[in-house]
Amino acid sequence: MGLGVAAIAAAGLATVAPTRAEEPKTGGTFKLVGAGDVYSFDPASARTAALFLHRGLTRTLLAFPTSDDAAVAGAPVADLAEAVPEAEEGGLVYRFTIREGAQWGSDPARQITAEDAVRGFKRLCNPVQPTYAPTYYIGIISGFAEFCQGFAAVSPEVDAIRDYIQNNDVAGLEIEDDRTLKITLEQPTPDFLSILALMSSAPVAAEMLDHLPNSPDFRRNYVSSGPYQVEDYVLNESVSLERNPAWNADSDPLRKAYVDRIEVAFGTPDAGKTQRMIEASDIDGYFDLSIATADLTRIMANPEDPQLLQFADGAVNPALVLNIQSPNNNGALANPLVRQAISHAVNKAAVVQVGGGPAVKRPTAQILTSNVDGYEEFDLYPTPDSEGDAAKAKAMLAEAGYPNGVELKFSYAAGGRYELYAAALQADLAKAGVNLIMQPAPSRTVYTQMYQNKNAVRGGAWDLGMTSVKPDWVGDSARTMIVPMFHGEACESSSTNWICYNNPEVNALIDAALTATSGEEAAEAWRKADRLIMADAPIIPLITGKISLYASARLRNTSINLLFNNVDPTLVWLDE
């Protein structure tokens, strides 16, 4: 058991409603409602809610199982692969043999092969919609950096992408026979098997090269390897999944596929409305939202309600990002003392209340959470009852040369809890002389036009942002919380290190963790990196805790999968 998994198990944070012991039934339609369509459906770049869909559509060589036991949930198991391989040649080589009988939902159905697995890896750095985490593969799989460098120069068109993938090889990906893949690494990587359990590592059918990555056509014509296939996909409206006749249950140790269909309707951003639909049994659950605070207060009056599902996802959500590149206020945010002053000014207790109260949320002061190896609780900016210390913050701003305070452009996603979090922060920061210019906008606009736009960052279009930092899996996943935003060596080209944070000491600790020869050694490096980043204060973690979902009265087997923070659509069944 990893250190972080042990911590969360001991803390009792991974709690769900008790499972009712009944004989599973087959059939019916599992219905959900979501606020909006997924940003990226493509397995190469799929996140959060899209992973829920792919649990039924797409198999990976390894996978994270669905379990209420955090130790089990954080340990990769064999999915398409016949077994979890042992490392060879000093941790540099892994061999995978794909199960016989695992088939694509193609016409006609055919065996999934090692060539399909290689194709999945090659698509990760496509020039249209590349993986969100290139560092999981570049610098790890031998020759992958060179392959991706060449791919970056390819025209973002179907024919050019197909031609490059089919006519260029990755040195570390070797097809030994139809069903056997040999992967050679550049250096031992302690969490490599966990990386291979992510959706981005999934094999991809040859037919998918006929469609632009993540395009509407790609979504509608997706060739499935799981128990379900896309029946219909209307962009921004709905997606429906039906049974995949090519799926062979004997080849799949993880999925039961009890329900006949899965239907998701997009376009309901009101969590309160969704809750009423669930309670009326019109639908079975949430797709991409969680219980609204007002409803949660009512529901928590009966914490033993079997329809209430609560679990710790390990996320810091929200966290404030301070744009250290901004020229505003004479470059105030480039000064660590100013950032530290703001860290003292925030009222985290108020944010806890907006998030549902202390029964489900708590203040946090660091990046890593108890789900993750390397977690060790600390707080470099404590304030009484986590309510902020306006007087101390004011004094620090004056010491930094800002006796009259600062004015910050605050860009964040409009609607939902982020709007409420922003309002809660505004008044208390003003008491400390930190005056916010509120700039809400649609989520995609905030991320693409503000956070990821280098000109907007350097030009001071925003000073303060709000986001979440979440591990991609439980256990040895600290890299997923620290590397994207805080590894600075390639920050100029990074789409995730928005503010180009670049501390050589932090970079060295990250590199030490990534090349560690043991989990304990890696965890110690991550622990030190977490503390050093917080001393710099480019980010202000606010709260962490539990997510609260609600299931319809007929939904059974509602254990949560922490990869996508929802029930497993391939394991639930309907009691009707």
Query: Using one digit for the tens of pLDDT, what is the confidence trace for 131-183?
Result: 888 889 999 999 999 999 999 999 999 999 999 999 999 999 999 999 999 99
* pTM assigned to the model: 0.88
Please answer whether residues 396 and 340 qualify as being in contact, where contact means their C-beta atoms are separated by less than 8 angstroms. Answer: yes
Please answer whether residues 408 and 437 qualify as being in contact, where contact means their C-beta atoms are separated by less than 8 angstroms. Answer: yes
Q: So what's the pLDDT on residue 525?
A: 97
Task: Please enumerate in sequence order all residues whose Cβ is within 8 A of that of 159, keeping only pairs 6 or more positions apart, or say none.
Answer: none
Burial (0-12, 13-18, 19+ Cβ within 10 Å), 106: middle
Give the Cα separation of 564 and 554 in Å (integer): 22
Rounded to 10 deg, the angle between the 336-345 and 390-399 helix axes is: 170
CA distances from 310 to 303, 542, 560 (A): 10, 20, 9
Burial (0-12, 13-18, 19+ Cβ within 10 Å), 495: middle
From the list 155, 128, 151, the residue with the least C-alpha distance to 138 is: 151
Q: So what's the pLDDT on residue 21?
A: 58
Task: Please enumerate in sequence order all residues whose Cβ is within 8 A of that of 206, keeping only pairs 6 or more positions apart, or say none.
Answer: 116, 119
Q: So what's the pLDDT on residue 554?
A: 98
Architecture of domain 3-267+551-574: 3-Layer(aba) Sandwich (3.40)
Q: So what's the pLDDT on residue 3?
A: 43
Which CATH number describes the domain made up of 316-546? 3.10.105.10
pLDDT digit string (tens) for 348-380?
Answer: 999 999 999 999 999 999 999 998 999 999 999
Domain boundaries for CATH 3.40.190.10 within the chain: 3-267+551-574
Q: So what's the pLDDT on residue 492?
A: 85
Sign of CA dihedral 43, 47, 50, 51: positive
DSSP string, 264-284: EE-----HHHHHHHHHTTSS-
**Residue 515 corresponds to which amino acid?**
T
Burial (0-12, 13-18, 19+ Cβ within 10 Å), 231: middle
Q: So what's the pLDDT on residue 519?
A: 87
Give the Cα separation of 159 and 378 in Å (integer): 52
Strand, helix or coil at 34? coil
Q: So what's the pLDDT on residue 435?
A: 98
Nearest-5° Cα angle at 431, 430 to 436:
5
Strand, helix or coil at 164? helix
Give the Cα separation of 281 and 576 in Å (integer): 11
Examine residue 76 and say whether the peptide bond preceding it is cis (omega within 30 degrees of 0): no
SS (H, E, C) 391-442: HHHHHHHHHCCCCCCEEEEEEEECCHHHHHHHHHHHHHHHHCCEEEEEEEEC
SS (H, E, C) 134-163: HHHCCCCECCHHHHHHHHCCCCCCHHHHHH
**Residue 175 corresponds to which amino acid?**
I
Q: So what's the pLDDT on residue 39?
A: 84
Give the Cα separation of 402 and 557 in Å (integer): 56
Q: So what's the pLDDT on residue 18?
A: 47
Tens-digit pLDDT string for the chain (576 aa): 344 444 444 334 444 454 555 899 999 999 999 998 998 999 999 988 999 999 999 999 999 999 988 889 999 999 999 999 999 999 999 999 999 999 999 999 999 999 999 999 999 999 998 888 888 999 999 999 999 999 999 999 999 999 999 999 999 999 999 999 999 999 999 899 999 999 999 999 999 999 999 999 999 999 999 999 999 999 999 999 999 999 999 999 999 999 999 999 999 989 999 999 999 999 999 999 999 988 998 999 998 999 999 999 999 999 999 999 999 999 999 999 999 999 999 999 999 999 999 999 999 999 999 989 999 999 999 999 999 999 999 999 999 999 999 999 999 998 778 999 999 999 999 999 999 999 999 887 898 899 999 999 999 999 999 999 999 998 999 999 999 999 998 788 788 899 999 999 999 999 999 989 888 999 999 999 999 999 999 999 999 999 999 999 999 999 999 999 999 999 999 998
